[in-house]
Amino acid sequence: MADYWTKERIVEHISTLKDTNTHEKLGQFFDDWAPHYDKAMESMKYVGPSIASICLQKYVKSKDARIFDVASGTGLAGEYLANSGYTNIDAIDGSASSIEVARKKNVYKNLYVQWIGGDNKMDVENDSYDALIIVGAFAFNHLKSDVFPDLIRVTKPGGYIVNNLRARWLKLEASYADGKLEADMEKHEKEGKWKLVERHVKEEEDSDQNVVTFIHQVC
């Protein structure tokens, strides 16, 4: 694959997500893309990582706070956090190649290769982190709402979970559509597990790039 990806090529590659219905296929999708991912996102002017970082800074003031970058990919969000002064960041992702790209950025203390969601619980102790940041991990055949209990489990009471995704996936991914994803979020709020403190929408000139960020505080 070429080092430079045109918008059309990126859109074409992303369109294949509908066929990545197993961890093996999804892993191959990102392993193939990992060496080119950062440049591709730059060419697309993808703002998800920067928005998530800005949102987290609003609620997590201590630069020593322990932060977990979940489904970290190549570490774009970690870079933004490190550049903002945060010094205690870990990462987890199912793509070994993406984790290796992230490792070379020297912004993470610990990095884990692991698929999460459903019965795949993170190999992390309860109440480990002051905050979680999740960028772009909810999309076609990506994370589902069954990961919420595990996200809550590893976050300290009073800690924050900052989760953003392209707004279009709320319509295009069947398990999120018609308000399903947000209904599942509200279910955990009614159960007293977390509370929504902010829902932020960043509108772009290209509406396909609109980003919605959910910020929950763990109870």
Question: Is the predicted pLDDT of residue 209 greater than 90, yes or no?
Answer: no
Distance CA 60, CA 155 (A): 13
* Average pLDDT score over residue span 185-211: 89
Question: Is the predicted pLDDT of residue 66 greater than 60, yes or no?
Answer: yes
Better pLDDT: 21 or 92: 92
Q: Tally Cβ neighbours within 10 Å of residue 36.
A: 20
Question: At the fourth CATH level, which superfamily is domain 48-218?
Answer: Vaccinia Virus protein VP39 (3.40.50.150)
Q: Per mean pLDDT, which range of 62-76, 111-125, 199-213 is the poorest?
A: 199-213
* Letter string b/e over residues 46-56, b meaning 16 or more CB atoms within 10 A of that residue's CB: bbbbbbbbbbb
Question: Is the predicted pLDDT of residue 1 greater than 50, yes or no?
Answer: no
Q: Residues 74-124: pLDDT tens digits?
A: 999 999 999 999 999 999 999 999 999 999 999 999 999 998 998 899 999
Which residue from 43, 120, 42 is spatially nearest to 76, judged by alpha carbons? 42
pLDDT at 45: 78
pLDDT at 33: 74
- How many CA atoms lie less than 13 Å away from 113 in the CB half-sphere? 13
CB 4 within 8 A of CB 39: yes
Mean pLDDT, the chain, integer: 89
Whose tokens are 């990126």? That residue is: 10
Distance CA 3, CA 42 (A): 12
User: Hey, which of 23-32, 124-133, 164-173 has the most confident mean pLDDT?
Assistant: 124-133
Distance CA 162, CA 139 (A): 16
Better pLDDT: 207 or 148: 148
* Average pLDDT score over residue span 163-168: 93
- Domain segments of the chain as ranges: 48-218
Confidence of residue 186 (pLDDT cuts 50, 70, 90): very high
Confidence of residue 5 (pLDDT cuts 50, 70, 90): low
Q: Where in 19-140 does DSSP place strands (E)?
A: 67-70, 89-93, 110-113, 129-135
Q: What is the pTM of this model?
A: 0.90
pLDDT at 193: 98
Confidence of residue 2 (pLDDT cuts 50, 70, 90): very low
pLDDT at 203: 80
CB 154 within 8 A of CB 68: yes
> Dihedral (C-alpha) 99, 103, 107, 110: value to the nearest 10 degrees?
70
